[in-house]
Amino acid sequence: MTYLTVPILVKSISQAKADIAQALSAHAEMLELRLDYLPNPTVEDVDEVVSAARKSSLLIIATCRPQNEGGRFKGPEEQRQLLLNHALKAGADYVDIELASLAYKPPDLTNKQSIISHHDFDKLPSNINDILKDIKKTKPAVAKIAYQPQRITECFPALDIIKENKNVISLAMGDLGIMTRLLAKKLGAFLTFASLSPGSESAPSQITIKDMKQLYRWDALDSKTKLYGVIGYPIAHSLSPTLHNAAFSEIGYNGLYLPFLVEPTWEEFKNFMDGILERKWLHLRGLSITIPHKVHALEYVLARHGGIGKLAQRIGSVNTLIFEENGRLSGFNTDYTGAMDAIMHSLDIKRTELSSLSTAVLGAGGVARALVAGLTDEGAEVTIYNRTAEKAQLLAQEFGCKWRALSDLKKLKHLDARVVINCTSIGMHPKVDETPLTASLLRDDMVVFDTVYNPLQTKLLLQAQATGAKTIDGMSMFINQAAAQFELFTGKPAPRSTLRRAVLG
């Protein structure tokens, strides 16, 4: 069993008792009492808080982390370890003590109830396996290693440690390390941590117990869970985990969908893909690809001699990767269908009617390629505007369009377009006050489509609505393409009503 453990930051006895009750209500499986959060902890404090925790019937870890190990305890080492020993006597099931502190070890500290830990809040230790060996020499009940990765590929050692060892806690901290927290149960780690609520984290980027249980379906995970996810940079804004995990739950599918923050270079993308595919025991079956990796995904499939769908070949980018059990890799593009269906439905027109509309496409990335391919197929007159003019020119030449630099929009007094489609990330959360167009270029006879879906109403759309223009938000496109992805992932019909509820409420 992998225990879902809630840290209780013991700032006062009354607050700790309330938090323990809340953790019990949230169905935590273990508590970690962070005694170092008390200003001047005494053995009497330890007695009272451990006694309160014991009434919950949950397993208890007592921790009093010193400042040099990322904690708050400022007193002498002898006092700190006296408090930990007293916690054991008061009924704690485990005590977490740092490997570096064992030189000061009081009697009976490293017994069957000991968790011997090492933390690095700056980096992945180059000698991480040697550190683990040193911890094991102390014969603890549980060995723990936590560190701060600098890139997502540095999370793999944490997963390897769990896979290759029993009775271990192995975590990569921060946004990059989310997958190590969630895959802990699949791989059989001793525990993983979940914060009680936002702001009560004991380490960077702990997920709340509510999200662990509801969003990421903790209780349904097991060793056979298939892995899916979305690769992007940035990725925190993505609603894809919410959408796909809800759909998995709806049809009873044993899958887990995670966000993967991969630096925006081909080398980082390739290294991540190589690393995750080498670990066949992760059971990776599918990936969504978003900004800025859609062309990288196409290149990766080609480099591994995988299959490319016809639309993906035509568009020149991939937003969906499928990994079959026999090792075959395939790439598809569902942006095309999602975008074109959103336009047709919103305007209540047939595709052939687009030929009469001049269209400005802002951006030259994967989504832009999909839309330009669809629009030019129907004979629309398209002008591509992009921050990097050379990229706009190349895309325009490929599809027989006009092109201009995105900065040229600032010089225009009139935009010669009836349809404006934003395919850039400008205006995406958290930079919601940005817009790719000045309001003066918008008119009431325009249709403005923003493919950004978070926020649903971008500044561009609000400006367009103020002029009386018809607007299309990115949610319809997002749900359409995600439904197509889901069916590629699972081979089952997408529960579209569930997808819509998951993102719109």
The per-residue pLDDT for range 63-102, each reduced to its tens digit, is 999 998 889 999 999 899 899 999 999 999 999 999 998 8
Q: Which of 369, 372, 370, 392 is nearest to 380 (CA)?
A: 372
Is pLDDT above 90 for 494? Answer: yes
- In percent, the amount of the chain with pLDDT more than 90 equals 81
Q: Are 208 and 196 in contact (CB under 8 A)?
A: yes
111 falls in which pLDDT band (50, 70, 90)?
Answer: low
What is the pLDDT, as a whole number, of residue 505?
A: 76
335 is catalytic: yes
Taking only the tens place, the pLDDT of each residue in 430-479 is 999 999 999 999 999 999 999 998 899 999 999 999 999 999 999 888 89
Catalytic member of 118, 144, 283, 296 = 144
Is pLDDT above 70 for 106? Answer: no
- In percent, the amount of the chain with pLDDT more than 70 equals 99
Between residues 138 and 336, the one the model is more confident about: 138
In order of 93, 94, 98, the CA distances from 143 in angstroms are 15, 12, 10
Instruction: Share the mean pLDDT of the chain.
Output: 93
Is pLDDT above 80 for 404? Answer: yes
What is the pLDDT, as a whole number, of residue 97?
A: 93
Q: Are 28 and 48 in contact (CB under 8 A)?
A: no
For residue 451, how far is the Cα from the chain centroid?
20
What is the pLDDT, as a whole number, of residue 361?
A: 97
Determine whether domain 240-329+480-504 maps to CATH 3.40.50.10860: yes
Q: Which of 343, 338, 367 is nearest to 353 (CA)?
A: 343
What is the pLDDT, as a whole number, of residue 495?
A: 97
| Residue 451 CA neighbour count, 13 Å, CB half | 29
Catalytic member of 45, 93, 96, 335 = 335
- DSSP label at residue 195: B
Q: Which of 442, 412, 420, 437 is nearest to 375 (CA)?
A: 420
What is the pLDDT, as a whole number, of residue 291?
A: 86
Looking at 344-482, which runs of residues are DSSP E strands?
358-362, 381-386, 402-405, 419-422, 447-450, 470-472
Burial code (b: 16+ CB inside 10 Å, e: under 16) for 298-322 equals bbbbeeeebebbebbebbbbbbbbb
Residues forming CATH 3.40.50.10860 domain(s) in the chain: 240-329+480-504
Catalytic member of 17, 186, 294, 459 = 294
* Alpha-carbon torsion angle 273, 279, 282, 283, nearest 10: 80
Q: Are 142 and 94 in contact (CB under 8 A)?
A: yes
Q: Which residues contact 289 (CB under 8 A, 6 or more apart)?
A: 230, 231, 232, 296, 297, 318, 319, 320, 321, 366
Specify the DSSP element, H or E, that contains 98. Answer: strand 94-98
Q: Which of 335, 250, 325, 326 is nearest to 297 (CA)?
A: 335
503 falls in which pLDDT band (50, 70, 90)?
Answer: confident
Residues forming CATH 3.40.50.720 domain(s) in the chain: 336-473
110 falls in which pLDDT band (50, 70, 90)?
Answer: low
Taking only the tens place, the pLDDT of each residue in 351-396 is 777 787 899 999 998 889 889 998 998 889 999 999 999 999 999 9
Q: The whole model's pTM is what?
A: 0.87
| Structure token pair of residue 75 | 């007193």
Catalytic member of 17, 119, 244, 293 = 119
In order of 261, 389, 428, the CA distances from 238 in angstroms are 11, 28, 10
CATH annotation of 336-473: 3.40.50.720
* Alpha-carbon torsion angle 322, 165, 215, 62, nearest 10: -170
Is pLDDT above 80 for 103? Answer: no
For helices 156-164 and 128-137, what crossing angle results, to 10°?
A: 30
Taking only the tens place, the pLDDT of each residue in 283-309 is 999 999 998 999 999 999 999 999 999
What is the pLDDT, as a whole number, of residue 105?
A: 67
Write the DSSP string, 45-84: HHHHHHHHHHTTT-EEEEE--BGGGT--B-S-HHHHHHHH
119 is catalytic: yes
Q: How far apart are CA 216 and CA 218, in angstroms?
A: 6
Superfamily of domain 3-218: Aldolase class I (3.20.20.70)
Taking only the tens place, the pLDDT of each residue in 205-223 is 899 999 999 999 999 999 9
Is pLDDT above 60 for 107? Answer: no
Write the DSSP string, 318-359: -SEEEE-TTS-EEEE--HHHHHHHHHHHHHT--GGGGGGSEE
Q: Are 372 and 361 in contact (CB under 8 A)?
A: yes
- Count other Cβ atoms within 10 Å, centred on residue 54: 16
